[in-house]
Amino acid sequence: MRPGFGKTLLMLLLAGCTPADDPFFDSANPAHCAAIFGLAANGAQQASNSEVADEMVMRATLLAEQHGGAAWIEAITPEALEIAAKMEAANDREAELRWLDECTAQQNTDPAFQARVARR
């Protein structure tokens, strides 16, 4: 992992998503999925559920690795922070879970993700 990668990934992991009726969130957008995985990781950490937190960090990390690592995270951080602000304002946990399910299902079909899970 490159220096600084962990810090920028941590910033991303504090991000969330937007209300369900807002077209800003797109589960086909890897930046948006990284943000929802980050939100889930943060929530799991706060609930002392390290197993779920670790899985979400792994999912976000794989997305980052697939799209350019730390440079990609730095590039998407403003978008992720905007997503987080909108989600905070919406306070829509149902939408968050729906997006998490969509992004998880999408990633589960990715051969690179399947290979990473198989190596665990």
Per-residue pLDDT of the chain (120 residues; tens, 9 = 90+): 444 444 444 444 444 433 444 456 888 889 989 888 988 898 899 999 999 999 999 999 999 999 999 999 999 999 888 887 787 778 888 888 898 999 999 999 999 888 888 886
Rg (CA), the chain: 13
Q: What pTM, to 2 d.p., does this model score?
A: 0.76
Q: Which residue has the tokens 């998407």?
A: 76
Q: How far apart are CA 55 and CA 8, in angstroms?
A: 18
